[in-house]
């Protein structure tokens, strides 16, 4: 048996797209942390996070306003994806980055770098869109969870196909998302954390359903299985 090379740097084993996304989020959070700690920016730096959320976060009333005014300026459309790189705090950002690295590695090795970027931004955009339509809140949406859940959705699709080939119960593939949503439901009931879970579920759903189009030959195999049934 060949020994594994444990001397290989961790980031070298990750798809470059995943590393780029994670480093971007980490750099933003470090920038805010340095400002809040008073290391850079002086007294004004304490409010950098709040200012960034106001300028780059996604606000649900934005969509009806854009439709009503016909103002589709790039700075408004940018909010549909820029909110993914902002978080309410350091802990939330680190948690997002850790899951991104884990899911990004699993998904990226099968789908490739371009597909990871498509999943990340498409699921983030879709999550914001559904959040605006269903949340009924003016609270801004920030954080990478809709995109991270999109990657979880793509990974769930891979498990779905795998369990199908093995003749096992394919609904086992939804164990991870069920566990995560159970945790979110718990916090939503007892701590009133808001309606961000709507964007997360939307991201997961889109990730699961577009995954077949991002894996070469996966859609054809799925259609063949459906015909056999």
Amino acid 14: pLDDT: 87
**Separation CA 133–CA 71 (nearest Å):** 19
Higher pLDDT, 15 or 218: 15
At CA 215, angle to CA 212 and CA 221, rounded to 5? 60
Summarize pLDDT for 83-134 with one digit per residue, the tens: 999 999 998 899 899 999 999 999 998 898 999 999 999 999 999 999 999 9
Q: What is the mean pLDDT of the chain?
A: 85
Pair of tokens at residue 107: 């998904």
Higher pLDDT, 67 or 228: 67
Q: CB burial class (10 A; 0-12, 13-18, 19+) of residue 188?
A: middle
Summarize pLDDT for 144-154 with one digit per residue, the tens: 999 999 999 99
Amino acid 6: pLDDT: 47
Amino acid 186: pLDDT: 61
Q: What are the φ and ψ backbone dihedral angles of 225, each rounded to 5 degrees?
A: -65, -35
Collapsing DSSP to helix, strand or coil, 94 comes out as: helix
Find where tokens 């820029």 sit.
Answer: 82
Is the confidence at residue 185, as pLDDT, over 80? no
Is the confidence at residue 4, as pLDDT, over 50? no
Going by C-alpha positions, the residue among 113, 124, 135, 115 that lies closest to residue 194 is 135
- Measured CA distances, 65 to 52, 61, 127 (Å): 20, 6, 18
What is the band of 48 on the pLDDT scale with cuts at 50, 70, 90?
Answer: very high
Q: CB burial class (10 A; 0-12, 13-18, 19+) of residue 176?
A: middle
Summarize pLDDT for 19-46 with one digit per residue, the tens: 999 999 999 999 999 999 889 988 888 8
Task: Tell me the CATH number for domain 10-228.
Answer: 1.20.1540.10
Amino acid 7: pLDDT: 47
Residues 63 and 141 sit within 8 Å (Cβ to Cβ): no
141 forms bridges with which residues in the sheet? Answer: 58
Residues 55 and 49 sit within 8 Å (Cβ to Cβ): no
Is the confidence at residue 5, as pLDDT, over 60? no
What is the band of 171 on the pLDDT scale with cuts at 50, 70, 90?
Answer: confident
Structure letter (DSSP) for residue 86: -
Is the confidence at residue 17, as pLDDT, over 60? yes
Amino acid 42: pLDDT: 85
Amino acid 2: pLDDT: 46
Going by C-alpha positions, the residue among 124, 134, 85 that lies closest to residue 206 is 124
Minimum mean pLDDT among 30-34, 46-50, 57-61, 225-229: which range?
225-229
Could you tell me which residues come within 8 angstroms of residue 17 by beta carbon, excluding any fewer than 6 positions away? 104, 108, 113, 114, 116, 117, 120
């Amino acid at each position: 048996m060949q020994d594994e090379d444990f001397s290989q740097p961790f980031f070298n084993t990750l798809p470059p797209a995943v590393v780029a996304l994670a480093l971007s989020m980490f750099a933003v959070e470090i920038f805010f942390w340095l400002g809040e700690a008073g290391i850079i920016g002086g007294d004004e730096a304490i409010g950098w996070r709040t200012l960034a959320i106001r300028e780059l976060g996604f606000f649900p009333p934005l969509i009806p306003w854009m439709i009503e005014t016909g103002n589709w300026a790039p700075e408004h459309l940018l909010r549909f994806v820029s909110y993914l790189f902002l978080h309410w705090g350091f802990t939330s950002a680190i948690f997002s980055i850790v899951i991104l690295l884990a899911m990004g590695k699993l998904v990226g090795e099968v789908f490739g770098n371009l597909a990871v970027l498509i999943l990340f931004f498409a699921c983030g955009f879709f999550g914001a869109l559904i959040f605006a339509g269903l949340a009924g809140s003016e609270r801004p949406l920030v954080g990478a969870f809709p995109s991270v859940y999109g990657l979880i959705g793509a990974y769930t699709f891979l498990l779905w196909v795998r369990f199908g080939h093995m003749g096992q119960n394919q609904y086992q593939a939804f164990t991870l998302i069920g566990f995560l949503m159970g945790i979110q439901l718990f916090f939503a009931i007892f701590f009133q954390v808001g309606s961000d879970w709507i964007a997360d579920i939307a991201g997961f759903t889109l990730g699961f359903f577009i995954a077949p189009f991002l894996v070469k030959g996966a859609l054809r195999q799925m259609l063949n299985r459906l015909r056999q049934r």
